[in-house]
Amino acid sequence: MSHRSLATLAIAAVFILAACSSSTASTAASGAPAKAASAAAPSAAAPSAAGAQVCNETKDAGAVAVTIIDFEFQPAAITAKTGQVITFTNGGSAPHTATLDGGQCATPTLTAGKSDGLVFSAAGTYPFHCGIHSKMKGSIVIS
């Protein structure tokens, strides 16, 4: 492999790692400005005001359990009520997150066997994905 090809690969790797780590760092932070920065509503069904926080990360035990196995959220279609904690547990070896598509909130990076939760304050439909593996997707319906 030529020196130029190696340099190109190294630069690409740096950008990819920077994108992954900055996404995790900004979503794991508890500061409201990072979470409220998204002006887009989570869905047409969600009656939240622009900039209002609809979701918070929590360490509390959850009423609704989601397991991450084989690069899939199980279940991928989640239903809960406002105020209920949805607990995501990583049952695999690769790290994962549960990140709302609008960026309003996310779990921190979950390594093997680790859990974290999200709790919603507004009804609506919230599509989400893994911030590390973008093909992993799901939807949360809050009533």
Nearest-5° Cα angle at 19, 24 to 56: 25
To the nearest 10°, the Cα dihedral for 56, 62, 64, 65? 100
Residue 124 pLDDT exceeds 90: yes
Residue 133 pLDDT exceeds 80: yes
Chain centroid offset of residue 70 CA: 17
Residue 83 pLDDT exceeds 80: yes
pLDDT attached to residue 53: 84
Q: Listing from the earlier edge strand, what are the strands of the sheet with 137-142? A: 77-80, 137-142, 124-129, 99-100
Distance CA 21, CA 137 (A): 19
Residue 96 pLDDT exceeds 70: yes
How much of the chain exceeds pLDDT 70, in percent?
A: 64
Residue 131 pLDDT exceeds 90: yes
Q: What is the mean pLDDT of the segment spanning 106-129?
A: 97
- What rounded mean pLDDT belongs to the chain? 76
Q: Please count the CA atoms within 13 angstroms of the CA of 13 that sit on its side-chain side.
A: 6
pLDDT attached to residue 121: 96
For the stretch 15-25, pLDDT in tens is 433 444 433 33
Kindly report the CATH class assigned to 3-142.
Answer: mainly beta
Please count the other Cβ atoms lying within 10 Å of the Cβ belonging to residue 61: 10
Q: Locate the domains of the chain by residue range.
A: 3-142
- The answer to whether 29 touches 57, Cβ cutoff 8 Å, is no
64: β partners: 86
For the stretch 39-58, pLDDT in tens is 333 343 344 445 568 999 99
